[in-house]
Amino acid sequence: AKRFGKMLMWAQLPNSGETLKLLIPSYSRKAISGQSNYLGMVTSQKIDENQMGDRGSKSEIQSPQPNVFSVKEQRVDGSYFGFYSKLRCTLMGGESRYQFKIPSKQFTKKLFSTLNTRNETGINPWFLTGFADAEGCFSIKIQQNAKLKIKWRIRPVFSITLHIKDLALLESIKNNLGVGNISKSGDKAVMYAVDSIKEIPVIINHFDKYPLVTQKLSDYLIFKECFEIIKQGYHLTETGLLKIIGLKSNLNLGLPVKVKEAFPPEEVPKVNKSEYKFNGIPNPFWISGFTSGEGSFQILSRSSNNELFARFSIHLHLRDLEVLEGISAYFKEKESDIKKLSLSEKSAQLQISKISVVNNIVVPFFKKHPLLGMKSLDFIDFCTVCDILKTKKHLTSKSVYNQIIEIKSGMNLNRK
């Protein structure tokens, strides 16, 4: 097995190639209180291998229970993929408050996650900040509401919207923060949002303790100032409403058309946006969180000579060039490795493709500070290919070359 940080990955199942034996934990349905079988310690093994086959089964729920769901059990016949053996997943569930006739099928949403890099202690707080720097959004919603005295409803919202493939990551973030809700956002996206006046302080406490690094810090400070006005009830007055509108004009894309029409510029007090200053990369886990959102692990080929190479890159707006320089310094790269794209695009890109740097610096860094979500799966494939490129077997073996191409075809946007 290979170790990624504290994680063991690609582990071969002990009975790979034969029917998985049913392991039954010791429990008493008549008197279960707490976790009587800590972490699923197995005390008996019962199965007729010839009869089990590849069957599934469904749990029976005796009464509804919040935050509890059942899963379908199915054996895992082997753990191989290509040349490499991989442990796809292991499901564990708490045993307390069973409402299932078969306790091995109970999983609480609070504890269960399909994240292959999730650990028992939760997500590192600096990872959360890094991921929010990449994917988070601080907004102040201003909507007309005739029932209110001032005719406008003010709502602060912190949100993260991802592809539905990363639902497990959003659930993990929600569980770690302990606030917010997750809902669908279109056909292929899900959104984690915190908009409750009682819950927003949790978000503010986190980002005050683990500050944002990119230009998003300025948005957060505006968001926080608006919330202070709301918390004191001043948003219910005309003066407070106009102050929030003035602040919102500097937030993200500015004011919506309807708000601009209802509040001409001369009525809205001008609010200067706080000056942003890059203060360096605070923690390596910030980089892993930020990379889980903005980073890219690619396997590229040059059609002219069929040359293959691995590339790690982060592409940002030019205004966050200092952030890229900070990340580059963490990887001990020179500033010349920061490649500015055309000024018309107002963007900059960090690219690291030198195989010695990738293998000796980039890969060990993210093994020590693991990525989460779908990006972690791209990194696993990236590491597999880097190991092959290091041996140079792809230069002499067509099958090895084709294996890399096959791995490449299932990465990033092509991953199902």
Residue 120 placed within a domain? no
Same domain, 242 and 177: yes
Same domain, 343 and 391: yes
pLDDT, residue 256, reads: 87
Q: Structural domain of residue 53, as residue ranges?
A: 2-108
Distance CA 376, CA 289 (A): 11
Same domain, 223 and 257: yes
pLDDT, residue 206, reads: 98
Same domain, 323 and 384: yes
Domain endpoint, select from 108, 140, 157: 108
Same domain, 135 and 241: yes
Domain of residue 207, CATH code:
3.10.28.10
Same domain, 252 and 296: no
Same domain, 209 and 326: no
Kindly state the helix (H) or strand (E) to which residue 143 belongs, with its residue range: strand 136-144
Same domain, 93 and 20: yes
pLDDT, residue 28, reads: 38
Domain endpoint, select from 217, 240, 267: 267
Dihedral in degrees, nearest 10, Cα atoms 217, 218, 220, 224: 130
Distance CA 294, CA 136 (A): 11
Residue 314: what residue type?
I
Same domain, 257 and 355: no
Which stretches of the chain score pLDDT less than 50?
A: 2-4, 6-121, 342
Distance CA 281, CA 324 (A): 10
Residue 400 placed within a domain? yes
Residue 212 placed within a domain? yes
Same domain, 258 and 316: no
Same domain, 52 and 21: yes
Distance CA 131, CA 292 (A): 7
Q: Residue 306 is encoded by which pair of tokens?
A: 């069929």
Residue 337 placed within a domain? yes
SS3 104: helix
Residue 275 placed within a domain? no
Residue 138 placed within a domain? yes
Distance CA 222, CA 207 (A): 13
User: DSSP of 323-370, one letter per residue?
Assistant: HHHHHHHHTT--GGGEEE--TTTTEEEEEE--HHHIIIIIHHHHHHS-
Q: Residue 289 is encoded by which pair of tokens?
A: 């969180």
Distance CA 370, CA 354 (A): 21
pLDDT, residue 397, reads: 85
Distance CA 362, CA 309 (A): 14
Pair 136, 216: CB distance under 8 Å? yes
pLDDT, residue 285, reads: 98
Pair 27, 36: CB distance under 8 Å? yes
Distance CA 245, CA 51 (A): 68
pLDDT, residue 37, reads: 40
Residue 402 placed within a domain? yes
Residue 349 placed within a domain? yes
Domain endpoint, select from 59, 77, 108: 108
Pair 286, 213: CB distance under 8 Å? yes
Contacts of 374 (CB under 8 A, 6+ apart): 163, 165, 166, 169, 415
Same domain, 225 and 328: no
pLDDT tens digits, residue range 320-344? 999 999 998 888 766 666 666 545 5
Kindly state the helix (H) or strand (E) to which residue 144 belongs, with its residue range: strand 136-144
pTM for the model stands at 0.70
pLDDT, residue 344, reads: 56
Which region holds residue 373: left if phi is over 0, alpha if psi is between -120 and 50, else beta? Answer: left
pLDDT, residue 7, reads: 46
- How many structural domains compose the chain? 3
- Nearest to 106, CA basis, from 98, 115, 114: 98
Residues facing residue 350 across a β-bridge? 314, 338
